[in-house]
Amino acid sequence: MKITMCFLFCVTFQYAYVGAIDNEYLGFQVKTNKHGLVFKSTGMLFRLTGYGASTEYKVDSFSKSKQGLVLYLGKECDAYSKLYGEGHWAWANGGFVVEFKTKSIRFGRQEIDMSHIPNMNMSNCQM
């Protein structure tokens, strides 16, 4: 029984859902709430393989110290992190960025979509 449980945990961890990967190749799970999006780091670090349209992210390693970072992206283009404080976010065709006073977190070649959140106007948050 213990072996089966460990096997299921390991498989689930290895193939965990990752909704975004930042400029330091850290994976984030993304959830929606009525105020915007919540990004929570998984601790999984990725590496890029391929070029152009064939670019892929593959799991490279795990960092316990990078696990659990939470970013809140609000529908008023505001952002918050317990670690970095208040900030803002913006998007463009090349991805989106979350800016704090001491840290800039970039999500290149990725889209952010809050169009399903009530009273959200994505054009307000363009770069």
121 lies in a domain? Answer: yes
Full domain range(s) for residue 34: 18-125
109 lies in a domain? Answer: yes
45 lies in a domain? Answer: yes
User: Tokens at residue 51, please?
Assistant: 């070029």
81 lies in a domain? Answer: yes
For residue range 70-121, list pLDDT tens digits in order.
999 999 999 999 999 999 999 998 899 999 999 999 999 898 888 888 888 8
Q: CA–CA separation, 38 vs 112, rounded Å?
A: 12
For residue range 1-51, list pLDDT tens digits in order.
444 333 333 333 344 567 899 999 999 999 999 899 999 999 999 998 888
Q: Residue 72 to residues 9, 13, 28, 34: CA-CA distances in angstroms?
A: 28, 23, 12, 12
57 lies in a domain? Answer: yes
